[in-house]
A and B are shown apart, each in its own frame.
Chain A
């Protein structure tokens, strides 16, 4: 037993009890101002009309699990990273592959337009160029260096700074040009799996979630953990701010998504269903924040009505785990990346062994209600 640093009359047990009492007190304190529940407020809100969301594009080209994707600000391009060690920049609208960057490491877990990070504990920034012959990988620049795998990354408001989360339990803010560590964020006791920056102009905060089942809100300036929420029963795979910046949602291995109000300082909704037993790996809000798209390990995407707490619809189409869902910047489409959808295209015996071509799907979901109207009209 580690007994160092114990004051007289203190034991680990007593400390544990004390911290438990404090936590209870915190809950009481939080409940004092809890005068109404979200679903009660939302009772007056009109019910969502039936959503009909269909796949509009399938992007094929990765040779293995697609682990992450992100939209470009121009609303039609996206970047995806895969276990095949490649990063591809797509024009999703025309299905063109515009850049392909081979990377030395196969588990590129996170990509943002345009930093990429992965299992080699580094986060690199790759400047894109128009020259087709240019070797993009050679221009790659390592920015962040963690002591364990980098699970997520995001540019801050400019492309001069990069925020990363890592399996070593920390998050860090980096200067892209010099690779200098600007601020590190300690507080998680296990792997940090995801982070998201506050969307508001004034916000200097970000939220992170990890294997310690905590979702922490951080002040980027001081590196202080301001708020912490512990209600998930398993690893938090993804955290995402509500578009107004006053709340955030988290997706967890315990098969639930939860919604936390930052100003009320508590969890206000749990999105779960008996029939959903597989972990949620990713989530994102629609533009108005009314819909929460969540990708699950049972290959489906569930769409939740954020206010009512009910499920609006479910999307099928992927044939393996959904690793990432992201709503495009103008909210017109939902991009989702999945681990695998193998498709046997051809068998060739000329060399004596079989060839299996694998395709990865990046599916596009768009509300197709309007399409139906067109077909009726004509």
Chain B
């Protein structure tokens, strides 16, 4: 019973979490050392002489010398010893702090130290209060009276015993010599001040929530536990490690890299809002600010992760990828992130959607991953879970990191951003300006409103580009539409607002048709196709005809429709949502009115390069199950025209093909 694990024994039974007490005790013993300890001297206080008293300044000086710390820290340390009841103040007995002056303190007798093997008992407290009550001078304080009454009520059954004890102790005390008696009274009082503190004061004895596990309890381990430990240790032994010099070197390097960006270590331009009450710094560093600061752009060069974690940086990178025609990589990565961290309810649909958009053969935004990863992913997708795309995602992440990121840093996109980036002047406020700033602190837009706005924006985008793909990046990016197939299908709006359509309020709505095609699944289209062929919905044309190019697209589409490969109902569902987008893009269009019809062929060539190895009949849509697979292929072969759907709206192929 008495033998316990030495390491775990904090000398505590009732306060197992206060490991500090043992250490404090050691210090107190050192302080009491006759040779090296704090100077003790009898002190006269009013009419009584108090033996072995110490002064506050001596305590502070001794601690400062012992630990080689400054006076303030020594004071704080001393105050903790007082708060724990190792030292007690003689004059101002309720304020448990060390004053660095001549005020007097005494060491508490070890009997009253908090390091006890037994709990502080209410009975003892009741006896103490009763004793004080008996003493003529001992007028109880208000909170003590309350305590006394409460205890009297609670321990009524043994109150006689308590009063008897108190009387006995009082008589015994009277028989002692006066200095002894005074000292003992002080000690006892100090003890109760620590353990039953007056309300409203800080109690060092308060250690918060009781934790479940008692550190003193002997751990009983079962064979199973040992087995688990051994298996785990075995695994840990096998774990690959990095040489300390390498890994530590990386940590040190990280510090050095970011040192200039740490507001605690270097200047924060133009000024730290907490210091000057000027929010320019925050305004300049808004998540989606049009022109970032130099410091921010510099951070993007530190690592690929840094670039991706900054929404502004990610937009910039997206723009670059768009120009490189590899935007689908980022969109895929974002889709995967969304799947991984998204809500459980839509997880399955999301996985399917990602598969259809990025992974299936002939997918609209097909990504290039190696066969092995693809195999694993496709196999996993039979029973989708949130981490099913991890392998593919890592592959794409590494691809972007190793390949695109390097090129991005050398690209004109990045250089342009770097050139435009601002380097704010340091604020030089005078004292009166600072005061004024402090008075004029303004609340910022509530995050709730910002969130609502973001969501509205997303909803608007989702409406103007009715694609599931946009939703893939809904939670990871505030600029969802950019992730859409816009690189190929909507050059005009991209040209008009190259930096940030989100801020410029120019919804870069991709051509609705492409989008619709992208999003319609095989089964859906089958259903729609069976609805029969009509001349195209008037509504759709009305909205699409809002501008020249759009109507041209619509025309080419009608041709397509006549051939019966695309059902009209699709446009019906599209058109109402497209109104706003068409309206805005018509304003942009005139800049490059002819581009849509001329630029695409080149681009498409580029686009098709990626997918050359796909058999033509597979360019149709992802297939949910294997039996459907065959069916779909059959259908696609039937309607030969469908394979032109891939890019008919902007390429010349349809004309050539049909003509």
Give residues of chain A (348-368) contacting chain B, Cβ–Cβ below 8 Å: 353-354, 356, 358, 364, 366-368
Question: What B residues does A70 contact at CB under 8 A?
Answer: none
The interface size of chain A toward B, counting residues with CB under 8 Å, comes to: 145
Q: How would you classify the secondary structure of chain A's contact residues: helix, strand, loop or mixed?
A: loop
Q: How far is the CA of A340 from the CA of B549 in the complex (A)?
A: 68
A306 interface contact, C-beta 8 A? yes
Contact A23 B233 (CB under 8 A): yes
Q: Which residues of A contact B279 (CB under 8 A)?
A: 93
Contacts of A51 in B (CB 8 A): 264
- Taking the nearest CB of chain A, how far is it from the CB of B38, in angstroms? 16
CB neighbors of A among B475-507 (8 A): 475-476
Please, how many angstroms separate the alpha-carbon atoms of A367 and B208 in the complex? Answer: 31
**Among B234, B244, B343, contact of A264 (Cβ-Cβ < 8 Å):** B244
- Contact of A225 with B232 in the complex, beta carbons under 8 Å: yes
CB-defined contacts of B258 to chain A, threshold 8 Å: 243, 287-290
Indicate whether A157 reaches chain B with its CB closer than 8 angstroms. Answer: yes
Is B20 interfacial (CB-CB < 8 Å)?
yes
A330 and B237 CA atoms in complex are apart in Å by: 38
A98 within 8 Å of B by Cβ? yes
With an 8 A cutoff between CB atoms, is A195 at the interface? no
Binds A, one of B317-325, B436-444, B517-525, B566-574: B436-444
Q: Could you say which of B118-126, B220-228, B627-635 contacts chain A?
A: B220-228
- Chain B residues contacting A56 (CB-CB under 8 Å) are 274-275
B213–A190 contact, CB under 8 A? yes
**B residues in contact with A288, CB < 8 Å:** 254-255, 257-259, 261-262, 265
A375 to chain B, nearest CB (A): 7
Which chain A residues border B406 with CB–CB below 8 Å? none
Contact B444 A74 (CB under 8 A): yes
Question: What is the CB-to-nearest-CB distance from B267 to chain A, in angstroms, rounded to a whole number?
Answer: 7
B244: which A residues are within 8 A, CB to CB?
Answer: 33-37, 261, 264, 266, 268
- CB neighbors of A among B55-114 (8 A): 63, 67, 69, 72-73, 76-77, 80
Interface string of A142-167 (1 = CB under 8 A from B): 00000011000000111011000001
- A277 contacts B27, C-beta separation under 8 Å: yes
- A370 touches which one: B207, B213, B259, B272 (CB < 8 A)? B272
Complexed CA–CA distance, A213 and B308 (Å) = 35
Contact B233 A41 (CB under 8 A): no
Residues in B215-260 with C-beta less than 8 Å from chain A = 215, 219-227, 229-230, 232-234, 236-237, 239, 241-252, 254-259
The interface-forming segment of B132-140, B172-180, B196-204 is: B196-204
Q: Please determine whether B443 and A96 come into contact, CB atoms closer than 8 angstroms.
A: yes
Tell which of B373-381, B445-453, B557-565, B591-599 binds the partner.
Answer: B445-453
| A-contact 0/1 string along B302-340, CB 8 Å cutoff | 000100110000000000000000000000000001101
| B237-A22 in contact (CB<8A) | yes
Smallest beta-carbon distance B367→chain A, Å: 17
Beta-carbon contacts under 8 Å, A1-44 to B: 2-6, 10, 12, 15-16, 18-19, 22-23, 25-26, 29-30, 32-38, 41-42
Shortest distance between the CB of A153 and any CB in chain B (Å): 15
- Interface segment out of the listed B426-434, B530-538, B637-645, B648-656: B426-434
CB < 8 Å: which of B17, B245, B397, B443 contacts A253?
B17
| Contact partners of B250 in chain A: CB under 8 A | 244, 246, 263
Q: Complex: how many Å from CA A182 to CA B385?
A: 10
CB-nearest residue of chain B relative to A290? B255
Q: Does B47 contact A (CB under 8 A)?
A: no
**Cβ 8 A contact of B251, one of A247, A273, A299:** A247
Are A202's CB and B274's CB within 8 A? no
Answer yes or no: A279 CB below 8 A from chain B CBs.
yes
Question: Which residues of B244-298 have CB atoms within 8 Å of chain A's CB atoms?
Answer: 244-252, 254-259, 261-265, 267-268, 271-275, 277, 279, 281-282, 285
Interface residue? B142 (CB, 8 A): yes
Note all chain B residues with C-beta closer than 8 A to A333: 263, 272, 274
**Cross-chain pairs A/B with CB under 8 angstroms, 13 sampled:** A4-B223, A15-B230, A35-B243, A37-B248, A45-B252, A76-B273, A93-B277, A190-B212, A225-B232, A287-B261, A289-B255, A331-B262, A333-B263
Chain B residues in contact with chain A, CB under 8 A?
Answer: 7, 10, 17, 19-20, 23-24, 27, 63, 67, 69, 72-73, 76-77, 80, 142, 199-202, 206-209, 211-213, 215, 219-227, 229-230, 232-234, 236-237, 239, 241-252, 254-259, 261-265, 267-268, 271-275, 277, 279, 281-282, 285, 305, 308-309, 337-338, 340-345, 386-387, 390, 394, 397, 428-431, 434, 441-444, 446-450, 475-476
Q: Please list the 9 inter-chain residue pairs (A to B) with the smallest Cβ-Cβ separation, ordered nearest first.
A: A288-B258, A288-B262, A275-B67, A190-B213, A277-B23, A15-B226, A175-B344, A158-B341, A263-B247
